[in-house]
Structure 1
């Protein structure tokens, strides 16, 4: 039987109740398994099997036994979570329900079309989805608790690496180690003041009766939310930058904030709804706009710095320390850190398109001409980038890819701990499986008692 990955096991059960129309293609339902007080229905397995096939899978190894074992493990974790009094954050559950419901509606075209598709009213669809997500959050929290104290040492990582067959090591694409000198356009305060005045005008229009959602769609520079009338969906305080969170959590329903400045630009915020420790707000984002003359001055400054480096009047590293305005890299000789991996190596997909285009033809030790880019907050910045090192595509190895091997080793250790936990709990929990499934060759022994 095909093995499955335990850390991602519970992601597949998100849409058991959302996969089909009416149940005409499913056998007469019955209870096929019980774990503690948790029941598994035949329809649970049948719906998941059909969902996988509807997605176009032709894998002959997909069978009811494998899907049933995945559900058995989920129920095992839920049972233990309830014993341990683990509780889910209902605000997070509601936020996920809203997010997924919006996704379904966007996919199918309208709320009415979604109701017709599932042959039930929207509140029932939402109730079904809420219970599925709540159980998923519960299983994930229980799983995290089981592996919470997993620690591995460098010797563990080396031992794990030696055991990996060479053909099982992941392929690592070409990577770049880069240094940068970053300069922002000058006179930002004037541009910021102009953006603030424009935002205050928009705020006054809303207070005088115009719709926030319409003006967000017209003017907000956060295009991802602008198409939804500026709505962000339910977010916790930790998911928002501090200045934005402080303003949002102090608003009453329907109230509009004053102008709020964050790393991303200038905002006005409207409270839609608050649930426990989460808020759903709309916002309109404006960024300072710079004249061509100001942008040219930033390029000219970088040109002058590049000339000094070429003439050996200063090293790239010292120039980064002296002139670069990027606070995350200037004190480290301009060395850029990949936010996806927290290392200094970048794959092509991890770079801004403008950054990759600037360095793609450079050799080690060479640096680019000045070019326009965006920082992590999507603000305009001008850069010159030096290619410190190029790592050719290769099979993962301990010397160059220690962080990757470490993650693999930790995942393997967590899998081992969860498998041991499952084996022990199968023996101590009440488990009953219908006779129709007694011939299943489950991966974990002991399910059939």
Structure 2
């Protein structure tokens, strides 16, 4: 049981595709969990997925894979008892999203089908019940986790229970804010990009396959390889201009060219399903001209002068002027992307090089000179300047300086213990039979009561 608790949370990440082999020569039951069974092919497919993701050959992983499958069975069976279900639409959305990602990684539909040795349609149908069970298990586990909280007293007790001689050391951390300005193009500057999108639309109207045009010319990296297809999604998944167009058209119709914050698009609705739509689109992104960059350089210099001369606070200026929607209503402060508690303390090794260079010589409370940058996610170019609120030098973990991080660790520890208790209680009234081939797996010992081991050995001998 020593490795059990550390693996419990892996169930949230264990949504790998456990496809059943199309050419099963021999298969067998390796575990029975309540009214459900786990086949050797289930374990083998998890192992194949592990190897495909770069893992090194290891029989130990097969023990881990079977443990994850047992936990999924227990959780999904309890979900059924509690009437927790997932709809066909939810499963379809997950399947479509995963197939798009698999297709992207494989380099196209044909290459993926060659790897799978079957059509994507067949593979999706094989995966549907597997994914449905995983999603039910995850939904039920979330009902357990969502109720778990830690008080400040529990955080303090957790920290004091750690080996004080082995506390982690933290690198330099900073709290930073930023004010971002993106260029706005004039109508004339935009016309170049609109004309390009109109040209692609005309190719489609003249009979060229929409998917082919998307693969060659669309500048949306997330959908171009899929022929522009986005999969089923509700209105709120899209910016308002896109959703207004997608939900206005009938299946098969081609939209006119329209503009969003990402550039110029046109789309085709493939299918409507209630309040969800599956559409494909072609995007031409707008790119700043030198004239537009020169215009915002003057604007951001003016904002910088107000903040630097203390005529306006940084937080007020961010709220009033910044184009960064994620930070402007947070006083311009940047959230640590790896923090579950949305902490604003960020290790300096997570900063982009240009941001680190901007704050490197600043004192706390100082702001950098404006500098040009390119957003790594959207690819948009603009100007920004950075504010250094706090710099914490390298130090050994302490409750005073690192409360948020210790709170996260305490929350994870309490979650592991709560889940461990749930599984221990569940195994007392659920029959679990495991093939004796796995009897040496440390991870599986808690599932193997003496009675279970005897039954397993007897059945295997038979």
**If the TM-score is normalised by the length of the shorter chain, which range does it land in?**
0.7 to 0.9
The whole-number CA distance in structure 1 between the counterparts of 2:360 and 2:170 is 18
Partner of 1:317: 314
* Secondary structure at the counterpart of residue 87 of structure 1: coil
1:298 aligns with one of 271, 288, 296: 296
2:180 aligns with one of 179, 182, 198: 182
Structure 1 segment 53-202 matched on structure 2, within 5 A: 55-57=54-56, 62=60, 65-105=63-103, 117-120=115-118, 122-166=120-164, 172-185=170-183, 191=189, 195-196=193-194, 199-200=197-198, 202=200
The whole-number CA distance in structure 1 between the counterparts of 2:134 and 2:315 is 51
Q: Structure 1's 369 and 76: CA in aligned 2 closer, same or farther, altered over 3 A?
A: same
Partner of 1:284: 282
Question: What whole-Å deviation, never above 9, does each CA across 1:183-231 have from its counterpart, x for those lacking one?
Answer: 3435656655765565455445533444433444455442333344322
Contact 1:287 1:379 in 2 (8 A): no
* Secondary structure at the counterpart of residue 231 of structure 2: strand
Question: What whole-Å deviation, never above 9, does each CA across 1:139-162 have from its counterpart, x for those lacking one?
Answer: 111111223322322222222222
State the Cα distance separating 1:391 from its structure 2 match.
2.8
Contact 2:287 2:380 in 1 (8 A): no
2:245 aligns with one of 238, 244, 247: 247
Q: Structure 1's 225 and 65: CA in aligned 2 closer, same or farther, altered over 3 A?
A: closer
Indicate whether 1:399 and 2:396 are aligned.
Answer: no
State the Cα distance separating 1:80 from its structure 2 match.
1.4
Partner of 2:409: 408
1:444 aligns with one of 443, 446, 455: 446
Partner of 1:346: 346
Partner of 1:213: 211
The whole-number CA distance in structure 2 between the counterparts of 1:374 and 1:152 is 40
State the Cα distance separating 1:39 from its structure 2 match.
0.8
TM-score (norm 1): 0.80
Partner of 1:17: 19
Q: Structure 1's 277 and 410: CA in aligned 2 closer, same or farther, altered over 3 A?
A: farther
* Secondary structure at the counterpart of residue 19 of structure 2: helix
Count of aligned pairs between the two proteins: 443
Question: What whole-Å deviation, never above 9, does each CA across 1:335-380 have from its counterpart, x for those lacking one?
Answer: 3445664333334575555444543454544432322235675544
* Secondary structure at the counterpart of residue 419 of structure 1: helix
Indicate whether 1:423 and 2:420 are aligned.
Answer: no
Q: Quick check: 3-12 or 141-150, which moved more?
A: 3-12
Q: Structure 1's 250 and 394: CA in aligned 2 closer, same or farther, altered over 3 A?
A: farther
* Secondary structure at the counterpart of residue 179 of structure 2: strand
Partner of 2:372: 372
* Secondary structure at the counterpart of residue 280 of structure 2: strand
TM-score (norm 2): 0.78
Cα RMSD (Å) of the superposition?
A: 3.9
Indicate whether 1:335 and 2:333 are aligned.
Answer: yes
Contact 2:432 2:447 in 1 (8 A): no
The whole-number CA distance in structure 2 between the counterparts of 1:366 and 1:29 is 66
* Secondary structure at the counterpart of residue 389 of structure 1: strand
Partner of 2:459: none
Q: Structure 1's 158 and 256: CA in aligned 2 closer, same or farther, altered over 3 A?
A: farther
Contact 1:179 1:387 in 2 (8 A): yes
Q: Structure 1's 417 and 331: CA in aligned 2 closer, same or farther, altered over 3 A?
A: closer
* Secondary structure at the counterpart of residue 185 of structure 1: coil
State the Cα distance separating 1:82 from its structure 2 match.
1.8
Q: Structure 1's 139 and 174: CA in aligned 2 closer, same or farther, altered over 3 A?
A: same
Contact 2:372 2:382 in 1 (8 A): yes
Q: Structure 1's 59 and 314: CA in aligned 2 closer, same or farther, altered over 3 A?
A: same
The whole-number CA distance in structure 2 between the counterparts of 1:31 and 1:351 is 50
Partner of 2:456: none
Contact 2:319 2:332 in 1 (8 A): no
Q: Structure 1's 229 and 383: CA in aligned 2 closer, same or farther, altered over 3 A?
A: same
Q: Structure 1's 359 and 427: CA in aligned 2 closer, same or farther, altered over 3 A?
A: same
State the Cα distance separating 1:56 from its structure 2 match.
4.0
State the Cα distance separating 1:252 from its structure 2 match.
2.3
- Gaps of at least 5 residues in structure 1 are none
* Secondary structure at the counterpart of residue 74 of structure 2: helix
The whole-number CA distance in structure 2 between the counterparts of 1:322 and 1:99 is 35
The whole-number CA distance in structure 1 between the counterparts of 2:311 and 2:258 is 40
